[in-house]
Amino acid sequence: MFGFDSNEVTQIAVSMVVVAFAFSVGFLFSSRADFILAFPVILAGVGTGFVLHELAHKFVAIRYGAYARFQAWETGLILALGMAILTRGAFVFAAPGAVYIYSRGLTRAQNGIISAAGCFTNLVVGLAFLALAFAAPAGSYLELLGASAAGINFFLGVFNMIPIYPLDGSKVLAWNWAAWLALALPLAFFAFVF
């Protein structure tokens, strides 16, 4: 129904693991124990932040009658790993791929809504993880998981709302500046405050 095949699922899974590993590389340079604790937390954040963001684009595009498919960007995956290793985790270039949408009939509004869907998903998922962090016992692994996954979701959402093509923000702003502000401002607030 949603047009998944095993190749697309594999590309999503590989992209998610590679990006999570890239964001975890810095912990390898401190201790293996830190890495073993951090990797699942970062995987949860990247998994929700990246995968759900891209799937939101895909499902909304399909709702508008378009064909949509995730395609990994191998160069982006190599850059993510390479930059993380070269900088010992201080800098990660994370551009693992994107959902490519094929349609001749999408309006500017539909394209804007498709683009906003990913960032809106990051905001909602980030808020859910933030609630988990506040509800969890202080200092617990669950609090760390919630806070980290929330932060990753907010960061990915606000980064994608930058109004520079090909980022989502450029398409949302081209459609409706009020919608862009309504999404960019809360994402920026939560990304920089929490």
- Catalytic residue flag (residue 143): no
Cβ atoms 73, 98 nearer than 8 A? yes
Between CA 62 and CA 156 the distance in angstroms is 23
**What is the number of alpha carbons within 13 Å of residue 177 lying toward its C-beta?**
0
Cα–Cα distance list, 96 to 60, 75, 137, 150, 171 (Å): 20, 8, 34, 20, 20
Element of type H or E holding 97? strand 97-102
Catalytic pick among 8, 54, 74, 143: 54
- Residues β-bridged to residue 72: 97
Between CA 68 and CA 22 the distance in angstroms is 27
- Tokens read off for 95: 């551009």
- Tokens read off for 49: 């932040």
Catalytic residues: 54
